[in-house]
């Protein structure tokens, strides 16, 4: 009986061991399936200028986004350029605007000129004593990081106010009074938007904004949409300069804002809108006389470059409203490249220390030699004893000796 019981327990233990790997494999398979389903259910990627959504269950990423806002007091112009990647062949991009917008292709050379103007100035700064990264303190990489780099009224629920083809863009300008109706219209026209955009678009519906819906398709059918796209240039009237940011709260990863602002004066965001403190990376007047930058800056000659980080996009509370800064102070980033001061390729501090030590050794040796060549000094002479007194002189032989006492006695 004991043997049979032991065999039964052994078989039960062996069955449990066999089942564990299967359970683990099943768990991993379910996790992978859930990950794939999550990518299909929520494929949207939010960028600083709106929401970008791939079609056909594809993926899309925005590696770089650059935007320019021009404000002349009545009209606002927004020029933006996106660099996208992924495997999606069709991508929809939605940007809210305060009023009806006109859309055209922008000049790619505009951003090249902006880069040249706002790039940080590199200057060398010499130091005498070694710092981190200099010999013998080789513990750092010696690199200096500069900062980076820089969106309805009564009637039917949805109405199309214009549609046009601009290069790879199929642009539709829409008005909507209901986010759900907008979602349905876009879906029927090839824009598959996730349901979570309904809540994100509702504040714009309440403010009676309009929308620019852009369908991006590659030049060659069957190839994914990747690379840097041609800039889009939007123009609309508005009471105050604003840059749409609310839809960026849908992003699942930290967001970065790089924005160029052209106006009559230096500009700044009115608030943080849930991100880190905005930083000015450049401020100054445009001096270009020709080219796309000079053309866009006509009448708005002051350029302000603004950068901001959003570590937690879900905290974004609204759109960026821009206002005039207290003063038109100019600013340009300066990146100092610290260099060790050298003489003939050798560290100056090493030459100084070595020379000082050599001078000290030479001085000590010189003093030692001089002391060795100096004549010896005789010991001090002890004082001589005083000379003895001279001896008394005796009278000569036969001389009469005068004895005063005796003579006195004889006379008496």
182 close to 314: Cβ distance less than 8 angstroms: no
pLDDT band, residue 304 (cuts 50/70/90): very high
Give the Cα separation of 278 and 295 in Å (integer): 27
User: Which residues, other chains included, contact 153 with Cβ-Cβ below 8 Å and sequence gap of 6+?
Assistant: 175, 177, 208
User: Alpha helix (H) ranges present in 189-333?
Assistant: 197-206, 292-297
Backbone phi, then psi, for 176, in 5-degree steps? -150, 145
pLDDT digits (tens, 9 = 90+) for 181-197: 666 777 776 665 666 77
Give the Cα separation of 339 and 144 in Å (integer): 12
Percent of the chain with pLDDT over 90: 27
Q: Helix (H, G, I), strand (E, B), or coil: what is residue 276? A: coil
pTM over 0.85: no
Give the Cα separation of 65 and 81 in Å (integer): 6
Percentages helix, strand, coil for the chain, rounded to the nearest 5? Answer: 30, 30, 40
- Tell me whether residue 189 is exposed, middle or buried, using C-beta atoms within 10 angstroms of its C-beta: 0 to 12, 13 to 18, 19 or more: middle
pLDDT digits (tens, 9 = 90+) for 115-173: 999 998 877 777 777 777 666 776 544 444 444 443 333 445 666 666 667 766 777 77
91-100, 185-194, 217-226, 291-300: least confident range = 185-194
CB atoms under 10 Å from CB of 259, counted, come to: 28
Paired strand residues for 69: 78, 261
Question: 29 or 121, which is more confident?
Answer: 121
Q: How confident is the model at residue 195, as a pLDDT?
A: 67
pLDDT digits (tens, 9 = 90+) for 196-216: 777 788 888 888 888 888 877
pLDDT band, residue 389 (cuts 50/70/90): confident
């Amino acid at each position: 009986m004991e043997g049979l019981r032991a065999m039964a327990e052994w078989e039960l233990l062996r069955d449990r061991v066999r089942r564990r790997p299967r359970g683990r494999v099943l768990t991993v398979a379910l996790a992978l399936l859930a990950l794939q389903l999550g990518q299909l259910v929520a494929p949207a990627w939010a960028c600083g200028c709106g929401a970008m959504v791939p079609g056909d269950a594809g993926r899309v990423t925005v590696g770089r986004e650059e935007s320019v806002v021009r404000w002349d007091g009545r009209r606002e112009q927004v020029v933006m350029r996106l660099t996208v990647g992924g495997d999606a062949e069709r991508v929809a991009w939605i940007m809210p605007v305060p009023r009806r917008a006109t859309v055209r292709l922008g000049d790619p050379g505009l951003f090249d000129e902006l880069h040249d103007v706002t790039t940080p100035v590199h200057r060398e700064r010499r130091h005498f004593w070694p710092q981190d990264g200099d010999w013998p303190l080789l513990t750092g990489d010696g690199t200096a990081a500069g900062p980076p780099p820089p969106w309805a009224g009564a009637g039917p629920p949805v109405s199309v106010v214009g549609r046009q083809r601009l290069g790879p863009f199929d642009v539709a300008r829409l008005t909507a009074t209901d986010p759900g109706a907008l979602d349905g219209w876009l879906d029927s026209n090839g824009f598959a938007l996730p349901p979570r955009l309904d809540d994100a678009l509702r504040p714009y519906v309440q403010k009676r904004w309009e929308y620019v819906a852009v369908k991006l398709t590659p030049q060659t059918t069957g190839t994914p949409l990747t690379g840097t796209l041609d800039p889009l240039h939007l123009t609309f009237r508005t009471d105050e300069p604003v840059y749409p940011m609310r839809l960026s709260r849908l992003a699942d990863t930290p967001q970065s804002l790089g924005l160029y602002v052209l106006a009559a004066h230096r500009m700044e965001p009115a608030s943080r809108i849930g991100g880190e403190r905005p930083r000015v990376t450049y401020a100054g007047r445009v001096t270009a006389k020709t080219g796309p930058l000079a053309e866009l800056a006509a009448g708005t000659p002051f350029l302000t470059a603004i950068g901001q980080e959003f570590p937690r996009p879900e905290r974004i509370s609204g759109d960026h409203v821009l206002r005039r800064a207290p003063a038109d102070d100019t600013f340009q980033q300066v990146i100092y490249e610290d260099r060790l001061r050298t003489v003939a390729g050798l560290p100056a501090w090493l030459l100084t220390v070595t020379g000082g030590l050599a001078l000290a050794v030479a001085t000590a040796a010189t003093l030692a030699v001089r002391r060795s060549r100096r004549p010896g000094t005789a010991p001090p002479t002890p004082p001589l004893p005083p000379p003895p007194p001279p001896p008394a002189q005796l009278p000569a032989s036969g001389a009469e000796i005068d004895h005063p006492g005796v003579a006195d006695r004889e006379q008496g």
